[in-house]
Amino acid sequence: MRAKHIVWDWNGTLLDDNHAVVESVNVVCDFYGRARVTLSEWRQIYFRPITDCYARLLGRPIDRADEWPRLAQLYYKAYKERLPTCQLSLGASDALARWTEHGGTQSVLSMWPHDELGPCLRERDIEAHFTRIDGLRGEDSGQSKAASFAEHLKAQNLAADDVVLIGDIRDDAEAAAAVGARSILLTTGIATRPDLERAGVPVVDSIAEAIALLVAAAGKS
């Protein structure tokens, strides 16, 4: 698990937003007349691709060309209203500072809209830690972030062997594996531990534990 560079996921990883996610999902539930869900229930439902996840939630297929853009916008509007209530995850600021002091570099790759991602980091006073910040450009297709991850590394001339992605869902690990990078998954986000463990990568309960793994590995190199 040696690394020179960390690519951080944002929502559910650096940002503690579980409450905003569930409240926004319930706005979708209300719109479609579906019973509301708890965090525990949403964790059991959630998977990628997200379009198929919402099909599971609603109990029927979602038309990706017509219905999905409207559904995604409904969720996005509700989540954006709740975003100001979201704080950094426990230990995030200290972990970012520790990795910088350790001599490593780090960046952010998120599926949150690109034009809004920078201000989110700036408002929480962590933007200076990152060599690059990439969010979603264009419409959310609801698909994997693998292609975005490959482009993120290419833009920084990063070798996959030098990179660890830290995220909170199995798709993060799959995106990293697709280009030969490694990953660590956190249980603090929206996925369950059993689901994360199916990725076959280290699963930890805090950002502090993730950084400790990388710093310890570097000390053995």
DSSP states of 40-68: HHHHHH--SSHHHHHHHHHTS---TTTHH
Q: Are residues 52 and 74 in the same domain?
A: yes
Q: Are residues 137 and 175 in the same domain?
A: yes
Beta bridge partners, 106, equal 6
115/105 Cα distance (integer angstroms): 22
Domain assignment of residue 91, given as a range: 5-16+86-219
Classify burial at 61, counting beta carbons within 10 Å of its beta carbon; exposed 0-12, middle 13-18, buried 19 or more.
exposed
Axis-axis angle for helices 18-32, 50-58 (nearest 10): 50
User: How many residues comprise the chain?
Assistant: 221
Token pair of 204, please? 């930890």
Q: Are residues 113 and 158 in the same domain?
A: yes
CATH code, domain with 37 = 1.10.150
The reported pLDDT for the residue numbered 97 is 96
Q: Are residues 57 and 152 in the same domain?
A: no
Q: Are residues 204 and 109 in the same domain?
A: yes
Q: How far is CA 71 from CA 5, 11, 107, 143, in A?
A: 35, 19, 30, 15
What predicted TM-score, i.e. pTM, was given to this entire model?
Answer: 0.93
Q: Are residues 41 and 116 in the same domain?
A: no
- What is the count of structural domains for the chain? 2
Domain end residue (candidates: 46, 66, 85): 85
Token pair of 125, please? 């006073």
Q: Are residues 12 and 27 in the same domain?
A: no
Q: Are residues 133 and 193 in the same domain?
A: yes
Mean pLDDT by 10 residues, the chain (221 residues): 93 97 98 97 91 95 91 96 97 96 95 94 96 85 78 97 96 95 96 95 97 85 50
Q: Are residues 212 and 109 in the same domain?
A: yes
Q: Are residues 181 and 104 in the same domain?
A: yes
